Structure 1
Amino acid sequence: MKAPWMLLFEAWAVQKLLRSPAFNSMVQKAYRKINGLPPMGPDNGHGRTGPSAFDHFRTEVKNQFRELTWQKKPPRN
């Protein structure tokens, strides 16, 4: 059986490790590699796999503008 102070130290060490940014980064890299996901680097759009919300917005504005400019005006009487 472990001494009570050893259990407290173990709990403290585990908590410290789980809150560590370096540990979380390492776990995230391993998870992405195991599951075949793209890396989270800035050269890869921080791991995004599809278009952003801004890309959708820009495409929608382009389509609406295109429809607006190509509409035929009714003839004047």
Structure 2
Amino acid sequence: MKWLGIRMLEIWLIQRLLRSPIFHKGVRRVHRKVEEVRRGEKLYDPEDFTGLHIDKPNSFDMKKFVKHYKEELQDQFRDLRKK
């Protein structure tokens, strides 16, 4: 009877662990690292890219800035002509 109680506790703890998102996140990290070592390349992780930093952070491209600035000015002048 004692072993039955220990077995039930073990089953309950395993079920609780498998429902935990933190456990799954840890397993994903370990799996990704193992695959990187096996393949010899860094794997793409969608969780790292949330869409907030499409370009490199803290990078400034003068050509892109000037192009965007010119487009904005053209749009403003178009709006002034329509009025």
**Length-normalised TM-score, structure 1:** 0.48
Which has more helix, going by share of residues? 2
